[in-house]
Amino acid sequence: MTPLLKEKIPSLNGLADFESALLRYQLALNKYFARSISRDRFLLIERDARMEMDMRFGYLLNRLQTPDDMQAIRQSYASVLALGPKFEAEMMRPAVNAEAARVILRDLNTNTNNIRTQLDRLQGRLESTSVDGASDVVKEVNDSSSLVHLYTAASLLIALFLIYQFRARLASERKLAFQAWHDPLTQLPHRLAFEQRLTRLDDKPYTVVLCVPDRFDQIVGGIGHRRADRLILEMTRRVQEVARRHAGEVFRMDGANIAILYRLSNGHPDFYAALDALKALGTSPFQLENQEMHVTLSLGASEYPIHSADPADLLKNADAALTAAREAGGDTYVFYSQSLNERSQEKLALEAALGHAVEQGELELHYQPQYDVANARLIGFEALVRWRRDGQLVSPADFIPVAESSGLIVPIGSWILQEACRQIKIWNEGADEKLLMAINISPRQFNHPGFMLMVHESLTQSGVDPSWIELEITEGIMVQRPERTALLMKHLRHLGIQLAIDDFGTGYSSLSYLKHFPITKLKIDQSFIRGLQAGSSDAAIVQAVITLGHNLNVAVIAEGVEEQEHLDLLGAWRCDQIQGYFYSKPLTANRAGEFISRAGEFIARQSLLRDASAIELSAA
Ligand code: C2E
Ligand code: MG
Ligand code: MG
């Protein structure tokens, strides 16, 4: 090998080795910031990468002695060395200041990017001098003896091979770097990349738009994960297409959540056009293999810098707007406003207070009677939870969704199960006619890994007969995780527990799943009962559900029955059971106990009357 090549090839390799170690170091810090690696793993990789980086840098310094070459690199590298431990110290504090850590990491990333640019420049220079050197050798070879010729040609080949190898390694390291900042499914930059991008906004107005398909969980349940991935791919492709028309930058946050950054203020006419285009994405169906899907989107927007100049707040605000769009029923967009944040503050306060509700005994169960239509007899109760907060009763409609989204539904649901079991045991003990206790189970509670154990414990601790218990679940549960749901339902049925589908007719589902689940009752949602009139479309639905239930051999109960007229219609259509204000509102345990005694008297009277008429008949 000529002296020139001998000198350049190790230098090229040295560059690649240093860049590789630097990249590993940078990745370790970024991953730890995103909490995608544990603290121990971070410390291990970080120490290791730092040692190697130092060693490689020392080697480079020795080989490339021209001060100009290394000056810029040396400066940025010194900053990296100073910022790394600062970042580590910030992240190791008991209360991490995420904002401070983010700023340090941002500076560190800027410095590593500078180093990479300088390394690229150096590499280009070294490669061109190597190739020049190689052609000089070729010239020399022409004038030399054949042995020397052969030797030099071999050296040249080796040199070119090493350059090739070096380039391949750099390419794979660049791929690694790409992967670290991009999502593998869509190849879009991911959440961390988005957060980084937000730290580099100039003074112009920008708007962040977060976008998510409505009822995505239920969609995944219906079509499975593989097709859901295809849906995400197709959706992001459409989002990219429309975002590009308004110079929007697209990022995949997580799941089906997408963020778009527009260089527009949210009052700009172009921005409305951009939003309308996004919203219109779902007007043509998505073709997934042989299935068509209609998808609507919820969009939440927040503007920089008027809503906030801080990246974390900007994102939080857009998120609050997105939540508002979803809560409004989806297929719409919402701009951030201060009141949205106040609402989410209220939600946080509610969540905090709810966290103590069980241990402070603030929850109570009320019980709403259920009746058999044919003989007007009390057959059981639905347990409905109430929260006595500062002396006021809070409706479950206000706190169950919060409990569900925060995960508090698991301990709360466990308490409800135990309390309802304890109560029905008291009422049924020694009674001739056993009553049924219907208990609502929320999706998150049902999907919790400890759910079966919770049910077992409630049964054994209370000593109830499982056939006195009916669990009410919603259609969504069956659609989301059909296999697991079917298995759990089978276990529950095996224990002897009854299973009802609550709010039937309102969910996003196909009727075909009904045959696959061991259901014992359909509960027609009260929205169909409220305005029930013969000949109306609600009447047609109610009649169809009753027929469907009977064909499937399951009982049908109508909830929300308030009027005699509704009762008469439901009786005529052979609905089996009734629940509603017509008979009674939900009652406290004491009042429900009195109700049972009165019902007992009623039954006794009915049977006396029956006996009396039987005597009269036989006498006749
Ligand atoms: P749901 O399970 O469909 O319960 C029926 C709701 O309708 C109850 O409201 C009940 O009071 C009300 N209702 C019953 N009959 C009538 C009527 O004739 N007219 C009218 N206007 N309303 C009637 P509530 O107690 O406010 O509960 C609302 C929802 O909160 C429940 O709907 C259920 O989804 C949830 N929930 C209540 N208790 C629990 C619980 O213990 N656990 C869980 N996971 N969710 C619960
Ligand atoms: Mg219910
Ligand atoms: Mg219901």
Of the residues 311, 336, 361, the one at which a domain ends: 336
Q: Which two tokens stand for residue 127?
A: 């490669």
> 186: Cβ below 6 Å to ligand 1?
no
Query: Is-contact 246 264, C-beta < 8 A?
Result: yes
Query: Is-contact 209 303, C-beta < 8 A?
Result: no
| Amino acid at the residue 211 | C
Q: What is the CA radius of gyration of the chain?
A: 35
Top pLDDT among 223 and 143 is at: 223
pLDDT tens for 502-528 read: 999 886 555 777 888 999 999 999 999
Residues 309, 425, single domain; the answer is no
Of all residues in the chain, what percent carry a pLDDT higher than 90?
Answer: 43
Picking from 140, 135, 128, 139, the residue whose alpha carbon sits closest to that of residue 156 is 135
Top pLDDT among 156 and 398 is at: 398
Give CA separation, 344 vs 312, 339, 354, in Å: 16, 9, 15
> 419: Cβ below 6 Å to ligand 1?
no
Residues with CB under 5 Å of ion ligand 3 are 502-503
Mean confidence (pLDDT) of the chain: 85
In-domain check, residue 211: yes
Residues 324, 395, single domain; the answer is no
pLDDT given for residue 1 in this prediction: 45
Q: Give the closest residue (by CA) to ligand 1 atom 45.
A: 440
> 442: Cβ below 6 Å to ligand 1?
yes
Could you say which ligand is closest to the alpha carbon of residue 408? Answer: 1
Give CA separation, 602 vs 65, 434, 595, 608, in Å: 104, 15, 10, 10
Residues 208, 328, single domain; the answer is yes
CA angle 592, 594, 598 (to 5 degrees): 115
pLDDT given for residue 67 in this prediction: 63
Residues 129, 203, single domain; the answer is no
User: Kind of pairing, strands 377-389 and 436-440?
Assistant: parallel
In-domain check, residue 551: yes
Could you say which ligand is closest to the alpha carbon of residue 397? Answer: 1
Average the pLDDT over 4-17 and give the result.
69
Q: How far is the CA of 509 from the centre of ligand 1 (A)?
A: 21
Q: Is the pTM of this model over 0.75?
A: no
> 474: Cβ below 6 Å to ligand 1?
no
Q: Cα–Cα distance between 312 and 414 in angstroms, integer? A: 36
Give CA separation, 473 vs 139, 217, 372, 438, in Å: 84, 16, 21, 10
In-domain check, residue 484: yes
Tokens 């080697």 correspond to what residue? 59
In-domain check, residue 374: yes
Q: Which two tokens stand for residue 580?
A: 């509603």
For residue 133, pLDDT over 50 is answered with yes
pLDDT given for residue 41 in this prediction: 77
Top pLDDT among 309 and 498 is at: 498
Of the residues 153, 181, 209, the one at which a domain ends: 181
Would the CA dihedral through 489, 491, 493, 495 be positive or negative?
negative
CATH classification of the domain holding 531: 3.20.20.450
Query: Is-contact 343 400, C-beta < 8 A?
Result: no
Of the residues 154, 181, 208, the one at which a domain ends: 181
pLDDT given for residue 198 in this prediction: 93
For residue 36, pLDDT over 80 is answered with no
Which atom number of ligand 1 is nearest to the Cα of residue 396? 30
By the 10 Å C-beta count (0-12 exposed, 13-18 middle, 19+ buried), 106 is classed as middle
Query: Is-contact 498 470, C-beta < 8 A?
Result: yes
Query: Is-contact 474 434, C-beta < 8 A?
Result: no
In-domain check, residue 453: yes
Q: What is the DSSP letter of 285?
A: P
Give CA separation, 566 vs 222, 296, 541, 584, in Å: 34, 35, 14, 15
Query: Is-contact 489 499, C-beta < 8 A?
Result: yes
Average the pLDDT over 215-228 and give the result.
81
> 396: Cβ below 6 Å to ligand 1?
yes
How are strands ordered across the β-sheet holding 206-213?
Answer: 249-252, 258-262, 206-213, 297-304, 332-335
For residue 302, pLDDT over 90 is answered with yes
pLDDT given for residue 139 in this prediction: 59
Residues 153, 275, single domain; the answer is no
For residue 405, pLDDT over 60 is answered with yes
Q: What string of DSSP letters covers 376-397?
A: TEEEEEEEEEEEEETTEEEPHH
CATH classification of the domain holding 323: 3.30.70.270
In-domain check, residue 227: yes
pLDDT given for residue 26 in this prediction: 83
Query: Is-contact 51 18, C-beta < 8 A?
Result: no
Top pLDDT among 129 and 418 is at: 418
Average the pLDDT over 292-300 and give the result.
89
- The H-assigned helical ranges of 389-429 are 396-406, 409-428
Tokens 């810098």 correspond to what residue? 305
For residue 359, pLDDT over 50 is answered with yes
Q: Cα–Cα distance between 485 and 48 in angstroms, integer? A: 46
Give CA separation, 174 vs 171, 181, 295, 613, in Å: 5, 11, 36, 93
Q: How far is the CA of 523 from the centre of ligand 3 (A)?
A: 7
Residues 355, 470, single domain; the answer is yes
Residues 382, 522, single domain; the answer is yes
pLDDT tens for 532-584 read: 988 888 899 999 999 999 999 999 999 999 999 999 999 999 999 999 999 99
For residue 163, pLDDT over 80 is answered with no
Residues 322, 352, single domain; the answer is no
Of all residues in the chain, what percent carry a pLDDT higher than 70?
Answer: 89
Residues 531, 465, single domain; the answer is yes
Q: Cα–Cα distance between 338 and 272 in angstroms, integer? A: 21
> 525: Cβ below 6 Å to ligand 1?
no
Picking from 253, 242, 229, 314, the residue whose alpha carbon sits closest to that of residue 277 is 242
> 1: Cβ below 6 Å to ligand 1?
no
Q: Which two tokens stand for residue 416?
A: 């409800």
Q: Which two tokens stand for residue 119?
A: 């390394």
Q: Angle 39-63/67-92 helices, nearest 10 degrees? A: 170
Give CA separation, 385 vs 236, 398, 459, 575, in Å: 42, 11, 19, 26
pLDDT given for residue 293 in this prediction: 82
pLDDT given for residue 615 in this prediction: 40
Structurally, the chain folds into a number of domains equal to 3
pLDDT given for residue 616 in this prediction: 40
Average the pLDDT over 457-480 and give the result.
92
pLDDT given for residue 65 in this prediction: 62
In-domain check, residue 343: no
Top pLDDT among 553 and 130 is at: 553
Q: Which of 41-50, 246-255, 293-302 has the lowest mean pLDDT?
A: 41-50
Query: Is-contact 121 15, C-beta < 8 A?
Result: no
In-domain check, residue 342: no
pLDDT given for residue 141 in this prediction: 52
> Residues 6 or more apart from 473 whose CB is under 8 A from it?
441, 443, 446, 499, 500, 501, 502
For residue 339, pLDDT over 90 is answered with no
For residue 221, pLDDT over 60 is answered with yes
Query: Is-contact 398 354, C-beta < 8 A?
Result: no
Residues 177, 301, single domain; the answer is no
For residue 440, pLDDT over 60 is answered with yes
> 95: Cβ below 6 Å to ligand 1?
no
What φ, ψ does residue 55 adopt, rounded to 5°?
A: -60, -45
pLDDT tens for 60-110 read: 777 776 667 678 888 888 998 889 888 888 888 877 888 888 888 888 888
Residues 257, 287, single domain; the answer is yes
For residue 611, pLDDT over 60 is answered with no
Q: How far is the CA of 238 from the centre of ligand 3 (A)?
A: 38
Residues 232, 270, single domain; the answer is yes
For residue 29, pLDDT over 70 is answered with yes
- Owning domain of residue 74: 2-181
Average the pLDDT over 247-269 and give the result.
92
pLDDT given for residue 612 in this prediction: 47
